[in-house]
Structure 1
Amino acid sequence: MTTEHPNVELIRRFYRVYGGDDPQALAEFFADDIRWTIPGHHPLSGTKVGATEVLAFFAELAKAGFKADPVFLAADGDWVVDLHRGWSTEPEGLDILWALAFRVGNGKIVEAVNFAADQHAADAYFWRKYPLAPVPDRLA
Structure 2
Amino acid sequence: MKTTEEIKEQLANKFLNGLRNRDWDLMRSALTDDVTWTLPGTSLLSGPAIGADAVIKRANQLRDFGVMVKLNHILYGLDSVALSLHNTASRGDLILDEYVAIVCDISDGKIVRIVTHLSDVEGINRFFVEGVI
The TM-score, its normalising length taken from structure 2, stands at 0.83
Task: Report the counterpart of residue 115 of structure 1 in structure 2.
Answer: 117
Q: Deviations over 1:60-111 (max 9, x none)?
A: 1121122211112221221112211112256672121101111011221110
The TM-score, its normalising length taken from structure 1, stands at 0.79
Fraction of identical pairs, as percent? 24
Residues 1-140 of structure 1: pairs in structure 2 closer than 5 A: 4-23=5-24, 25-88=26-89, 93-127=95-129, 130-131=130-131
Which of structures 1 and 2 has the larger relative contact order (alpha carbons within 8 angstroms, sep 6+)? Answer: 2
Mapped partners of 1:94, 1:82: distance in 2: 18
Larger radius of gyration: 1
Mapped partners of 2:12, 2:79: distance in 1: 12
- Number of matched pairs: 128
Matched residue of 1:40: which SS? Answer: coil
Q: Which has more strand, going by share of residues? A: 2
Matched residue of 1:59: which SS? Answer: helix
Q: Unpaired runs of 5+ in structure 2?
A: none
Alpha-carbon RMSD: 2.3
CA contact (8 A) 1:17 1:25 kept: yes
Matched residue of 1:19: which SS? Answer: helix
Q: Unpaired runs of 5+ in structure 1?
A: 133-140
- Read off the aligned partner of 1:114 and give its amino acid letter: T
Mapped partners of 1:90, 1:26: distance in 2: 27
CA contact (8 A) 1:37 1:45 kept: yes
37-46 or 88-97, which deviates more? 88-97
Matched residue of 2:44: which SS? Answer: coil
